[in-house]
Amino acid sequence: MHKLHTFNSGLTLAYVFNPAVRSVAIGVFVGAGVVREGAENAGISHFIEHMVFKGTSTRSSFDIVNEIDSLGAQINAYTAKSYTCFHTVSLDVHAAKCAEVLSDLYFDPTFDPEELKKERQVVIEEINESEDTPDDLCIERLLSAYFKGHPLEKPILGSKKTLGAMTSEQLHAYRRQFYTPSNTVVAIAGNLSEAEAVALTETYFESKFGGADNVELAPILPAAANSLSVTQKKDIEQTHLAFAFPYYPYDHPMTVAAQLMTLIFGMGMSSRLFQSVREKLGLCYTVEGYPSAYEGNGAFVIYLATSPSNAVKAARAVRREIDLLLETGVTDDELAKAKQQLKTSLVLGQESTASMMRTFGTYAMMTGKLYDLSGRIEEIDGAGSEEVMAAARYVFDMSRVCASTVSSAPDSKILEIFKGR
């Protein structure tokens, strides 16, 4: 049983019932991510994600994790480009306590100035770690170039400069602006009846908003087309290459066709990209193609790591595979295999309450609608090779491709080479 319940305040509950398990996953999704940040407060959504765990009016940072650990449960959070999620997984008998702790984090973080100073340094170390990780650095710079001039260009972590200027007052103001009922989804999946799920949400969330105002949020506009190349010199052994292409917005009618194309072309060990660039040519250990979809926007990324002497050869090999896909299309066997892969991943995900919480919570957050698993499987079964190839032609637009290189000797002409100029 899957249901969407909207409360009087505008708060949404996405409910997924699974009596075959003894666990319950609860997620609180807030529409606060880099798409809602300005240049002056970049990273504030992620910083708040950290800071709510540093204490509330009634719980210290230790109390928060100790109470959850004492139940044998798990608590965590993450920030995406479009939203922030706080979540728990526990035995069904501890669902109410987990909901109460999540409610405390959501409604009553203190953002203590002394704790803020310490946690700021923690996030700065997270930034340092990301900058020391070549693949992270390569992809981050790629997406910043691809979405240049758009809110999506900003990194989720923010920058050392913006973090250094943030105050407790700014965090409180941002939380008041975006942590509102109509901008929040509670997702509950597992062995909990609908009545119990509604009651938990009413008790720990709906009743605590107290007539909070819902602010009308501006729509996220599409990004302008860019075709840029960025390089970063770094003293490392490999050259890290990444290319970004257009992709459909979240839950676009062509999503299924694009997902099937992704599986055939670039995702998994039997994909064309893996079989050609790694298995046949031996040019790299890691090579993959994958999409990221947002409101009104999307990007398809191809990433690989190779030796500096093979960078140009690898880039040309990727381009050849793209050309081959566009020229010859996909086979019936490839399409049938991709359909089985996609359906299996969806069906197996039902066996995890955490996975269902994320799937239904994210979908409700991004679309305001209930995720239809059966409908999605029907879409997969009905997709044809013509749709898959229409998606491929949309994605692999060489007039809108961006490139990123991180290497000890980055080639500034890699984008021109990739385009065949």
pLDDT greater than 90 at residue 56: yes
- Amino acid in position 114: E
Confidence of residue 217 (pLDDT cuts 50, 70, 90): confident
Confidence of residue 101 (pLDDT cuts 50, 70, 90): very high
Residue 257: other Cβ atoms inside 10 A: 24
Confidence of residue 421 (pLDDT cuts 50, 70, 90): low
Instruction: Tell which residue, 170, 205, 154, has the closest CA to residue 14.
Output: 205
Confidence of residue 349 (pLDDT cuts 50, 70, 90): confident
pLDDT greater than 70 at residue 357: yes
- Amino acid in position 210: G
Q: Which helix (H) or strand (E) holds 91?
A: strand 84-91
Cα 388 to chain centroid distance, Å, stands at: 23
- pLDDT one-digit tens code per residue, 135-154: 999 999 999 999 999 999 99
What average pLDDT does the segment 231-243 reach? 95
Name the DSSP letter for residue 221: P
- pLDDT one-digit tens code per residue, 161-206: 999 999 999 999 999 999 999 999 999 999 999 999 999 999 999 9
* Single pTM value for the model: 0.95
3-state secondary structure of 133: coil
Least confident of 201-210, 216-225, 274-283: 216-225
- pLDDT one-digit tens code per residue, 109-144: 999 999 999 999 999 999 999 999 999 999 999 999
Residue 295: other Cβ atoms inside 10 A: 20
* Rg of the chain, C-alpha, whole Å: 23
pLDDT of residue 226: 87
Mean pLDDT of the chain: 95
The residues that are catalytic are 49
Query: What distance in Å separates the CA atoms of residue 386 and residue 302, rounded to the nearest whole number?
Result: 23
What average pLDDT does the segment 201-216 reach? 86
The residue whose two tokens read 């060990």 is 269
pLDDT greater than 90 at residue 215: no
pLDDT greater than 90 at residue 219: no
Structural domains for the chain: 2-208 (3.30.830.10), 229-419 (3.30.830.10)
- pLDDT one-digit tens code per residue, 366-418: 999 999 999 999 999 999 999 999 999 999 999 999 999 999 988 889 999 99
Contacts of residue 81, Cβ cutoff 8 Å, sequence gap at least 6: 33, 34, 35, 152, 156, 292, 294
